[in-house]
Structure 1
Amino acid sequence: MKPQNDINSVAKKVLLQEAEAIQGVAAAISETQDFAQCVETILSLRGRVVVTGVGKSAHIAAKIVATLNSTGTPALFMHAADAIHGDLGMIQPEDFVVAISKSGDTPEIKVLVPLLRRKGVLLAALVCNASSYLATQADYVLHAPVEREACPHNLAPTTSTTAALALGDALAVCLLEARQFSSADFARLHPGGTLGKKLYLKVGDLSRQNEKPKVTLEAPLKEIILEISGKRLGATAVLDPDDDTLLGIITDGDLRRMLTNFARLDDVRARDIMTPRPVTVDLDDFAVEALTRMQQRNITQLIVTEQGSFSGFIHLHDLLREGLV
């Protein structure tokens, strides 16, 4: 086995070579209008984007399809080899086909292209070789120039697949921005898992499950302690007795600090130990925003408000339970 330094050197070389290839792809975009025209055509499309390829290019095609679907562009994956054995039937006249091939001259692609032409669909070629059969037959050429693979034998698809994947990501993001696809749109397509929760879970979804500890300005120490311990959120809100306006917060930490600041505890009232103008979060804010505010201030609970009025509490444990931390 090679020494550690040699392994790191090889890894660094691969990454730098692939990064350089992506820079070349970025430069190639400005050489023609094909990329921009391809985006505009897809935006006006009545059908779907069908992405195809064979070998490693098929894997890249499948990933690009997943990215397009998740960012608002309906897409289908079609393996180039399966297409000529029946899967070609999934393509409709309103669809747009993106064929991925490093050489642009693979046998499956050469068989597939005339069949696509008969169906009358628009075709974009995502290729390394802009002079290839596929490129010359396509309506648009998405050029991903790659001089050599990161493989030392220049055989295993590495740099070329990275370049194709990056160009596919660029296509998806351009479409996303052109459609003004928002985080709310993204959330509707990603309701599962932690990512989905970050995009749709609101503070109110969690705070409504909690108790609502509250005391008035003149509440004595015993009442404060019972409210905090009984409601088990580590804090209580302090409200104006006349109109329930939020005036402050008392936490477990405030109680501990009180012991060193007051000689006579019988006379302590809520107004003496509360923190005025507490940090709050709105009922309709995303739960992840509550987490951000807690982390910024190194606290474990926030008062929740609804249209400026006290509504309850959200605790760090609520966010932990939902897997947001």
Structure 2
Amino acid sequence: MLKTTILSAPKRNYVNLDYARHMPKDYVDRMKRHVPTKVYDNRFGAPPVHRWAVPPDDYKPLLKDFNDGSRILQAKRIWEMEAFHERLERERDHKSALLSVKFFRKRRRLVPQMSAEHWTIFPGDQVEVMIGPDRGKKGVVSHVIKEENAVFVEGLHKKLVETVPEEVMKTYELPQTAMFFEQPLFVHKGEVKLIDPNDNESCFAKWMLNEDKTEYVRVSTRTGYQIPLPQAAKRTYEYSSPDNYIEVVGKDTPADVALLSTYEPKLSTFEEEIEQEMGLAKRGTKDEKNLERPKTFWY
């Protein structure tokens, strides 16, 4: 009864709508340096010991200084060059601390990452900037970084950044070049809000069950109007739209076959099921081919 209730419950599909959903998870973990370099296992019942390139619970904020004297907290996707170089430096410091008497100080996250229940902004959403010179302007979210509670809006909240260091340009006697880059807007600080399609005004949103109680939808907390998910939020590494995905014959299991319920519960253990399917004699019986299992002793 409980199993039937759980299987029939509406799925929280919005939990899987991550910024890195279109990237392979093993690639993202490698870029984060969160893959263990060595695992010490078989420790006589004790849990295995992992040696990490960078401890998974280590967190170092990425701060950037600008020519105007400002220092802004950055949010970068882990495969971007700046963030990747920062992780390589942390890996170098961690290895150096292991080989010497220095102490590696782990950094802790001051502001926790927002849970999937409270995250309601995705790529392609219409939002309004609430701070800075672009306050009150509306734009489209280009990408989000859930780990930093940050979103980026196309063409808004920009900062002029030098593309090449000033010393290098002076060496070759070239004029300094700079470009505008979008800066992160942090959702937990209220720096950006969703646009309610009912009246085209800013609002907060939450996840609620629809009228049929079949799926969760985004609803404006101010008007109660449903805010549909943009198509860009469903983009993955393999396809831009689930409807346009082309199955690879011989490698992909067809959807109609994968959705078939083929499991038949039985009141037997896994070993007993194998014995029944392959016609093996039951363990524990005395015959010429299958003797009793010997006793096992632990010291």
With the length of structure 1 as denominator, give the TM-score of the two structures. 0.19
Q: Which has the larger radius of gyration?
A: 1
- Greater share of helix residues, 1 or 2? 1
